[in-house]
Amino acid sequence: MKKAMTEIDKKLRSRIRVIIWKQWKVSKKRIKSLIQLGIPEEEAKGLTFCRRGYRYIGLSKVVQRAISNKRLKQRGLPSALDHYLKVHTVI
């Protein structure tokens, strides 16, 4: 079950990164937001003007560094694996 929860977490977080990327809408806003999250300007521009699909963007290392699991947790997104372990390890 732990492995299944880990996979669910990975897919869920990737999808949330895509949703955040879509909310930024305009290229200028995407570059500005990535720079604010600590990504160098050249990498931000490279990813913003990339013609690949949203799934590729959500799985890219640049977006994963910018919108890390730690940041998502700070913003209130709980981890399915953490919740599962909390509920099932109680004796």
Give the tens place of pLDDT for each residue, 28-85.
999 999 999 999 999 999 999 999 999 999 999 999 999 999 999 999 988 888 888 8
Taking every pair of C-alpha atoms in the chain, what is the biggest distance, in angstroms? 52
Band (91; pLDDT cuts 50, 70, 90): low
Gyration radius from the chain CA atoms: 15
Structure-block tokens of residue 61: 């290392």
The domain spans of the chain are 2-88
Residue 84: the pLDDT is 86
To 10 degrees, the CA torsion angle through 14, 54, 27, 34?
20
Q: What's the Cα-to-Cα distance from 47 to each of 73, 77, 81, 87, rounded to whole Å?
A: 24, 25, 30, 39
Q: Distance between CA atoms of 54 and 6, rounded to whole angstroms?
A: 22
Residue 79: the pLDDT is 87
Residue 49: the pLDDT is 95
pTM of the model: 0.85
